[in-house]
Copies of this chain bind each other. A is one copy, B any other.
Amino acid sequence: MARATTNAAAAPAPAQELSGPAQHGLELYRRMLVIRRFEETVQSLFQKGEVHGTTHLYIGEEAGAVGVGDVLKAQDRAAGTYRGHGHALGLGVDPQALLDEMLGRASGVCGGRAGSMNVIDLAHRLIGCFGIIGGSISAATGAALALRREDGVAVAFFGEGTTNHGYFHECLNFAAVRKLPVLYMCENNLYGEFTPWEDVTAGEIEARPRTLGIHTETIDGNDVWAVREAAGAAVERARAGEGPQFIQSMTYRFVGHSRSDPGAYRKPGELDRWKQRDPLLVARTKLTGELGVPPSGVDEVDAAVEAQIDAMIEAALAAPYPDPSLPVREFAPQAEHAP
């Protein structure tokens, strides 16, 4: 189980004479943009009948996965959800292999077997994307049992709706009691499917982990630097033996929950207000302002990502489907075990 040490996807960031923070900021922006364009691609290929079943897009929430992915070390791992394309890309999963998977191609990251909701890529530290609510939480909790042996930290991504699930409560208590190095990254996008969080959730979400003695924080999930900072500190506290950490990352999904969602549940004006806090916009503003990146520098990234995605689509559509006649093994064969 090799683990990659890089978050770099194909296209390099422009190597002008930018400062370290600016350079790094531009790279964060680029990663978010790759996710955004990736998701738009999935959406349009879904409409064209090339992506199937259902998909849950991460549009509007990109800062979360990119911010967290940026602070993880080689020995760390993360578990994402059915809304996991962003989680995967944030960890450095190859966008081409991910897109191929969406299209059910043999070159997909799971050979086309998994599809949108169940992507697994251990080489890029992705334990998996979990179609079952709470699956990411328990997987990361367990991974932490293993990773702590090599100074690693596990991250679980999940939505606010998931904090009502038994998995959430049991695993956070379990991790707290065992002081496991795990970051519980709750992406609060205000809705679970079509239901507003406040309709089905008693009390304040952040208070739940806090009563378990877990360090908690609520952050602006649309500011990639804010996410980075909070996640970085949390991961290092976890690594230092301070036990599980909880972040509530406030964000918003700009598109439907899944393919067919008219969004009737949204409150008036809500979508527009959140769009003004689009993580890409927030990043561009900071880059071209505070960080002194010329607008053309950002435009260059835009163009590079555009080109990258165009090439990816072409390659994905040309990739072969898996061959159904090939034999498949139900069980893993026995590996050698040292005595």
Task: Please measure, in the bound complex, the distance between the C-alpha atom of A297 and the C-alpha atom of B199, giving whole angstroms.
Answer: 55
- B164 engages A176 (CB within 8 Å): no
Residues of B with C-beta under 8 A to A169:
164, 166, 168-170
Known contacts A164-B170, A169-B168, A170-B164; is-contact A211 B204 (Cβ 8 Å): yes
Among A102-117, those with CB < 8 Å from B are none
How many Å from the CB of A141 to the closest CB on chain B?
A: 13
Residue of B with least CB distance to A214: B202
Interface string of A168-197 (1 = CB under 8 A from B): 111011001100000000000000000000
- The residue from B168, B172, B177 contacting A199, defined by CB atoms under 8 A apart: B177
Q: How many copies of the polypeptide does the oligomer hold?
A: 2
A165, CB-defined interface residue at 8 Å: yes
Which residue from chain B places its CB closest to the CB of A168 in the assembled complex?
Answer: B169
- Inter-chain CA distance A207–B214, complex, in Å, is 13
Instruction: Report which residue of A165, A172, A210, A211 has the largest number of chain B beta carbons within 10 angstroms of its beta carbon.
Output: A211
Q: Which residues of chain B come closer than 8 Å to A213, judged between CB atoms?
A: 202-203
Closest to A243 in B: B202
Is A22's beta carbon under 8 Å from chain B? no
Quick one: given A204-B211, A208-B211, A212-B203, are A170 and B177 in contact (CB under 8 Å)?
no
A212 neighbours in B (Cβ, 8 Å) = 202-203
Q: Given A177-B202, A213-B203, are A166 and B164 neighbors across the interface (CB < 8 Å)?
A: no
A321: interface (CB < 8 Å):
no
Task: Show 16 A/B contacts (Cβ-Cβ < 8 Å), sorted by A.
Answer: A164-B169, A164-B173, A166-B169, A168-B169, A169-B169, A169-B170, A173-B201, A177-B199, A177-B200, A177-B202, A203-B211, A203-B213, A204-B211, A208-B208, A208-B211, A211-B211
